[in-house]
């Protein structure tokens, strides 16, 4: 992805103007430091536009365009049959959703976990997964996004977001994936503010990021 | 961001098998977190410290959505029956209460899985972060000085939990 300045039209630009741009590149939070040159990282980092993709929410039928969310958003990448890293990632987002629930921030953020297992993660499965993980879908700020098919999942999750996943051998619970972990905090102008590449992201930090971006 | 295939961070990313780690005798734990115990079988509501200095402790990190954590309860129950007088057992979930999920839900899960010791809420995932747990279930053994002596990621057998209890007790 090339670093490029983004011209935003209409209300979104006004929001950015009011909240202020700290880095001059559309960011509001201070530069995030990385262990290596972020140009060499496979995932989008501070100051870059979130990969521009449109994905369906199979539960509501809505189409979500990542660059037109118009609110700060939190992304992570998962599959619902995962027993190890993914429930921690989803659980962290769920805890953040609960933390902002009933506050002024509740309607000012979107939680957008993207599955890379569209074969099994259909609407019914994701609805059950939400119930199992105590995600509150009625809050209206959470959308599971599901690429249409395996090839599209690769194209979006691996090629655009830099989260690689490889299907592994069958287990008693069906096939699994070896995969990397990533949580992205994106501002209302669709610029990445934080990229946490860990299977155990800091819940308190994510909540603080959301609160900082939602005023 | 450069468009390229990233190297997977090893098979550990999907590690499902349990693994015990014995902490060096020089390890000094800076863990000192406050959790909120709830009313449930074997558990009385109130704030408490993890670890609690003066009491050896087995801490079980779990979540109600975590199927392996439910499986873990059987070995914990046996180990608790055999070592519960020497070592304090406490199960801690990092699930934040709210959004239709409350302490009664935790207590109901606890009851249905035979819990008979302290169960507590760690809002903010402070314990999980402090002990650097990257998955659930995750067991940590603190000695009476509040130092981590042993930890175990993934499901631990009865023998493994009892070995942890002996290591700290």
pLDDT digits (tens, 9 = 90+) for A95-131: 999 999 999 999 999 999 999 999 999 999 999 999 9
Q: Which domain holds residue A208?
A: 44-213
Distance (Å) from the alpha carbon of A67 to chain B's nearest alpha carbon: 17
Alpha-carbon radius of gyration of chain A? 16
CATH at A85: 3.40.30.10
With beta carbons less than 8 A apart as the criterion, state whether A207 and A100 touch.
yes
ipTM over 0.90: no
Of A45, A83, A136, the CB nearest to B1: A45
Strand order in the sheet with A73-78: A110-115, A73-78, A183-186, A192-196
Using the Cβ of A201 and the Cβ atoms of chain B, whether some distance falls under 8 Å is answered with no
SS3 at position B148? strand
Using the Cβ of B19 and the Cβ atoms of chain A, whether some distance falls under 8 Å is answered with no
Chain B interface, best mutation among A37, A84, A159, by max B CB count within 10 A: A84
Distance (Å) from the alpha carbon of A182 to chain B's nearest alpha carbon: 12
Using a 10 angstrom Cβ sphere, with 0-12 exposed, 13-18 middle and 19 or more buried, the burial of residue B15 is: middle
Residue A75: both structure tokens together: 């992304």
Query: For chain B, which residues make up each domain, given as ranges?
Result: 17-168
Architecture in CATH for domain B17-168: 3-Layer(aba) Sandwich (3.40)
Using the Cβ of B4 and the Cβ atoms of chain A, whether some distance falls under 8 Å is answered with yes
User: Are B65 and A87 a contacting pair at CB < 8 A?
Assistant: yes
**pLDDT > 90 in chain B, percent:** 76
Domain count, chain A: 1
Residue A36 domain-assigned? Answer: no
Peptide bond into B51 cis (omega under 30): yes
Residue A94 domain-assigned? Answer: yes
Which chain A positions have a beta carbon within 8 Å of B121's beta carbon?
none
Taking only the tens place, the pLDDT of each residue in B28-73 is 567 899 999 999 999 999 999 999 989 999 999 999 999 999 999 9
Residue A182 domain-assigned? Answer: yes
Alpha carbon of A147 to those of A116, B37, B63: distances in Å? Answer: 7, 41, 28
Q: What is the mean pLDDT of each run of 10 residues along chain B (169 residues)?
A: 46 50 65 96 97 95 95 98 97 94 97 98 93 92 94 96 96
SS3 at position B169? coil
Residue A158 domain-assigned? Answer: yes
Residue A103 domain-assigned? Answer: yes
Contacts 24+ apart (CB under 8 A), B124-128: B124/A203, B124/A204, B124/B94, B124/B96, B125/A92, B125/A95, B125/A202, B125/A203, B125/A204, B125/B94, B126/A204, B126/B33, B126/B34, B127/B31, B127/B33, B127/B35, B127/B50, B127/B59, B127/B61, B127/B92, B127/B94, B128/A200, B128/B61, B128/B94
Which chain A positions have a beta carbon within 8 Å of B4's beta carbon?
42
């Amino acid at each position: 992805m090339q670093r490029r300045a983004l011209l935003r039209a209409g209300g979104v630009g006004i929001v950015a103007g009011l909240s202020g741009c700290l880095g001059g590149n559309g960011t509001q939070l201070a530069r995030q430091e990385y262990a290596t040159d972020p140009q060499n990282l496979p995932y989008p980092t501070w100051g870059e536009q979130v990969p521009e993709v449109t994905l369906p929410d199979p539960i509501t039928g809505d189409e979500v365009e990542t660059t037109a969310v118009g609110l700060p958003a939190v992304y992570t990448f998962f599959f619902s049959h995962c027993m190890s890293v993914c429930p921690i990632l989803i659980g962290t987002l769920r805890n953040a959703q609960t933390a902002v629930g009933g506050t002024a921030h509740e309607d000012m953020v979107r939680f957008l976990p993207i599955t890379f297992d569209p074969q099994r993660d259909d609407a019914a499965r994701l609805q059950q997964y939400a119930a199992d993980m105590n995600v509150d879908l009625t809050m209206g700020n959470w959308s599971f996004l599901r690429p249409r098919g395996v090839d599209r999942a690769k194209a979006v999750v691996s090629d655009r977001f830099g989260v690689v996943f490889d299907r592994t051998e069958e287990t008693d619970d069906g096939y699994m994936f070896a995969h990397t972990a990533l949580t992205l905090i994106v501002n209302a102008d669709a610029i990445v503010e934080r990229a946490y590449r860990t299977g155990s992201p800091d819940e308190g930090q994510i909540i603080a990021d959301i609160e900082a971006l939602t005023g | 961001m450069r468009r390229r295939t990233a190297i997977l961070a090893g098979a550990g990313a999907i590690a499902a098998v349990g693994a015990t780690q014995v902490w060096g005798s020089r390890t000094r734990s800076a863990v000192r977190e406050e959790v909120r115990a709830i009313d449930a079988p074997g558990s009385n509501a109130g704030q408490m410290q993890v670890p609690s200095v003066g009491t050896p402790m087995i801490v079980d990190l779990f979540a109600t959505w975590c199927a392996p954590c439910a499986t873990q309860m059987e070995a914990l129950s046996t180990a608790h029956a055999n070592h519960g007088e020497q070592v304090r057992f406490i199960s801690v979930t990092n699930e934040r209460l709210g959004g239709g999920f409350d302490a009664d839900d935790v207590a109901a899960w606890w009851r249905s899985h035979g819990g008979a010791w302290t169960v507590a809420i760690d809002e903010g995932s402070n314990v999980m972060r402090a002990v650097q747990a990257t998955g659930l279930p995750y067991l940590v053994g603190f000695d009476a000085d509040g130092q981590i002596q042993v930890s175990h990621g993934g499901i631990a057998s009865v023998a493994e939990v009892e070995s942890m209890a002996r290591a700290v007790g």
